[in-house]
Amino acid sequence: MTTPAPDARRALVHGAPVGLAWSDASGNVVYANARWRALFGYTGLWPLPLRQVIELAHEDDRGVLARQMRQSTPGEEVRMRLRSADGLRHLDLSLSAIHDDPDDVVRFVGVVNDVTELVTALEEVGRSEERFRTLTSALPIATFRTDPTGAITWANERLLEMSGYTLEGMLGMSAFDVIHPDDREDAYQRALDAIIADTTFESEHRFLCRDGSARWIITRTSPVRDARGSVLEHIGTMEDVTDLHARAVQLAEAAAVDPLTQLPNRSSLESALHQLWSERPGRRDIGVIFADLDGFKAVNDTYGHRTGDAVLIEVAARLSTAIRADDIVSRFGGDEFVILCPGITDPAVLDTVARRARAVVSQTPIEFDGHSHRIGTSVGTALGPAAGSTTADLLHEADAAMYAAKRRGD
């Protein structure tokens, strides 16, 4: 390999993008290239006394520079600050001693690299990090951060308060570890879909607290990417919706229950009937008993709605004692009740339940507010649905049978 000529080597050193300098054994600089001169702002003659070199450094870093000159280790870098015409600069300085023999230092070779932009960027990141943590720590919503694999790297006070964990206890834990096992597969799928679509991940699921209890939350996370698009971390929030979820459940339950008798209402009964049919279309083992009270209108008109309500409540309670374990009794509307009897293939069994329902209602008067009220019941039954018919047809068939029985006085 051809060695560059001396003039070429000098040109390479002089134009190097990093500062290069040589000093004698006393530390006095005897030569520095253009970059070194620009960094240190030196335009004078050589040699430059060591004392003056040290004075160019920030006053708090002069001791660092002096120690480096006395105790240089090959390859060791120290960071120092330098006051220049452009303001405060941050430099990485590496010194290597050249020995004439093992004990005698002949000169030093110094390499100086300007890292001001890097230091400034890191300081800005640090300030941004501090602002982020200050802001999110005070937020009323749980906030957290994970690494690209989903391991939790930070959580704010609201999340710690909600979960019962300490920050140390959460660090390194997968964000999926705190999801209820029954909800985890759906959350995984949503996360995968968000990655593929490059969108925000959102999932409503149960969050497992440290004490084993579960809270309903809505989790949203977004990736933070570098300039090349690689994911650096995820930042997310957890909104506690336990109370909202409980109210929604209560509303759903209320919508399916008759508020007076606390029996399933018509909508609930029709949903149950439809569910039975959907589980096994074509089945012919669904029994329906339609019951209409006899004598109720007279009681209601004579004694008022308060007494009428008491009668309906008592009838509901009595009918509930007449059914089988899997049967459902519901208030269909007004003084009409419907009993749903799944799994019946013998009409005689359905008739037995119907007779028992009539008997419990009429066997003894209903006592309320000092008065006795004897209530009768007309019932009609249907078993099916018949081939080609629907669940609605089955209800209609039982209703028609009930009115036929009422006309007959049965």
Ramachandran angles phi, psi of 242, nearest 5° = -60, -45
Q: What is the largest CA-CA distance in the chain?
A: 129
Name beta bridge partners: 385.
none
Q: Is 245 exposed, middle or buried (0-12, 13-18, 19+ CB in 10 A)?
A: middle
Query: 10-residue block means of pLDDT along the chain (410 residues)?
Result: 62 83 82 86 84 83 77 68 79 76 66 80 67 67 90 91 94 94 94 89 94 94 86 90 86 85 93 87 89 94 94 96 95 95 93 95 93 94 82 92 88
Given the DSSP bridges, would you call strands 214-225 and 231-240 parallel, antiparallel or unpaired?
antiparallel
d(CA 141, CA 159): 8
The verdict on domain 6-114 having CATH code 3.30.450.20 is: yes
Name beta bridge partners: 217.
205, 240
d(CA 208, CA 216): 9
Q: Where in the chain is the domain with CATH 3.30.450.20?
A: 6-114, 126-245
Residue holding tokens 């049978």?
Answer: 401
Instruction: Tell me which CATH homologous superfamily contains domain 126-245.
Output: PAS domain (3.30.450.20)
Residue 164, classed as helix, strand or coil, is coil
Contact at 8 Å (CB) between 354 and 269?
no
Q: 93: part of which helix (H) or strand (E)?
A: strand 87-101
Question: Which CATH entry fits the domain spanning 257-408: 3.40.630.40, 3.30.1330.10, 3.60.40.10, 3.30.70.270?
Answer: 3.30.70.270
Q: Is 363 exposed, middle or buried (0-12, 13-18, 19+ CB in 10 A)?
A: exposed
Q: DSSP character for 364?
A: S
**Over the stretch 28-67, which tens digit does the pLDDT of each residue have?**
888 888 888 888 888 888 888 888 888 888 888 888 777 7
Q: Where in the chain is the domain with CATH 3.30.70.270?
A: 257-408
**Helix orientation angle between 347-362 and 305-322, rounded to the nearest 10 degrees:** 140
pTM: 0.49
**Over the stretch 121-169, which tens digit does the pLDDT of each residue have?**
666 766 676 666 666 666 678 889 999 999 999 898 889 999 999 999 9
